[in-house]
Amino acid sequence: MKPVAVGGCNFYLQNCVRADSLAPCFFIFGDSLSDSGNNNFLPTTAKANYFPYGIDFPGGSTGRFTNNFNSVDYLAKFMGVDLIQPFTNTSGSNILKGVNYASGAGGILDDTGILQGDRLNLRSQITKHKLIFTSVAVKLGGVDAAKQYLSKCLYHMNIGRNDYFDNYLKPFFSLTTFTDDLIARYALQIKALYGVGARKFALVGLGPIGCVPRKRNTNEYNGKASFIMVNSSAISSQSPAFLALKNKNDSCCKTVSSTGLCVKNVTPCQDRDNYVFWDGLHTTDAAHKIYALSQFNASNSNFTYPMDITHLLSLSLSS
């Protein structure tokens, strides 16, 4: 596959990976699209710590629901920070660089994903971040110092798909009522993060949830926080790099019909760089890379609103 230019970087990452750092730390909230291994240690069927997951990742399967890196891994590279460790593996890691709380099957609603077993829903992820905040405050000498430090970090949130998959088609929900409830719950969790120092948010949109950044970027914050919306639908339908992927319908690995996950120990397709879908639910490393590039250094104003992550991290916000 030939390199495809995306926002000043090409498909193979030349001129993208930084030697310096755009932000001191990176905190990740979400579901299986961002999970880097949290579910490995939970009693759940939503696991990806077996072959062929991680077939192209150094060291093999880690719990990422793809063949190699996911979008937030690439964003870490572009920002000039190390790959962010999952919360369940923070022992001995440098939490000042960030933590990944994302969990496969997790959602905004507490009960989303319950049929798969245990998982970290968004409320649990925020609760765990508050524990990390306390540890950061101890390391830096106080709450005020911790908030000042954390205000310079990126908070990436990509969650909500499982809520729709699991719930909104049920007959006792109307789509409007369900969406309004999700937005309200989501906003409360964002406000909780704001309370422990978060100021720079990248919110990956999903249908009506894509309106959340604009709803929250109001006078309530008075210039003390900034939000961007990542329009994943626009990226998948308009990005030249995404459109160049040849196979947009098939799964690269053979999947289990009941779960959509890869069958264990079955060899996947060989031309993985040409596939959009890795299994029945998740995208390949190639697609993750394009999503990451398109939100980090947007070549199309439809991809991020009102700016891309590069410009978000350059903002100076009032305390």
Domains in the chain (CATH in brackets) are 5-314 (3.40.50)
**Residues recorded for the chain:** 319
pLDDT at 316: 86
Q: What are phi and psi of 149, to 5 degrees?
A: -65, -45
Catalytic residue among 31, 163, 166, 279: 279
* 273 has catalytic annotation: no
| Residue 57: how many other CB atoms lie within 10 Å | 17
What pLDDT digit, counting tens, does each position of 5-27 carry?
333 444 444 445 556 899 999 99
Write the DSSP string, 186-218: HHHHHHHHHHTT--EEEEE--GGGGGHHHHHSS
- 203 bridge partner residues: 157, 229
| pLDDT given for residue 17 in this prediction | 55
Identify the weakest region by mean pLDDT among 95-104, 146-155, 179-188.
179-188
> Does residue 83 register a pLDDT over 90?
yes
Residue 225 above 50 pLDDT? yes
- The pLDDT tens digits of the residues spanning 170-219 come to 656 677 888 889 999 999 999 999 999 999 999 998 744 443 333 444 45
Under 8 Å CB-to-CB from 122, ≥6 apart: which residues? 29, 106, 107, 108, 159, 185, 186, 189
| DSSP structural state of residue 168 | I
Which residues, at least 6 apart from 180, have a Cβ–Cβ distance to it below 8 Å?
A: none
The token duo for 237 is: 């339908």
Q: Which of 239, 282, 288, 294 is catalytic?
A: 282
Residue 255: pLDDT band (50, 70, 90) is very high
Per-residue pLDDT tens for 25-64? 999 999 999 999 999 999 999 999 999 999 999 999 999 9
Strand, coil or helix: 100: strand
Provide the token pair at 85.
Answer: 């460790």
Distance CA 239, CA 280 (A): 22
Q: Any residues with CB less than 8 A from the CB of 109 and at least 6 apart, and which?
A: 121, 163, 167, 182, 185
- pLDDT > 90 fraction of the chain, expressed in percent and rounded: 77
The per-residue pLDDT for 179 is: 85
Catalytic residue (one of 32, 36, 61, 251): 32
Which stretches of 31-70 are assigned E, i.e. beta strand? none
Tell me the one-letter amino acid at 60. Answer: G
Task: Confirm whether 311 is a catalytic residue.
Answer: no
CA distance between the termini of the chain:
46
Based on the residue annotation, tell me whether 282 is a catalytic residue of this protein.
Answer: yes
Q: Which candidate, 192, 261, 269, 195, places its Cα nearest to that of 47?
A: 261
Angstrom distance (rounded) from CA 48 to CA 40? 8
**Coil, helix or strand at residue 153:** coil
Average pLDDT, the chain: 89
Which backbone phi and psi does 276 adopt, to 5 degrees? -85, -45
Tell me if residue 101 falls in helix, strand or coil. Answer: coil
Cα 84 from Cα 107, distance rounded (Å): 20
Look at residue 91 in the predicted model and tell me its pLDDT. Answer: 80
| pLDDT at residue 102 greater than cutoff 80 | yes
pTM for the whole thing?
0.91
Evaluate if residue 81 carries a pLDDT over 90.
yes
> Confidence class of residue 168 from pLDDT cuts 50, 70 and 90?
low
Tell me the C-alpha distance between 182 and 177, whole Å.
9
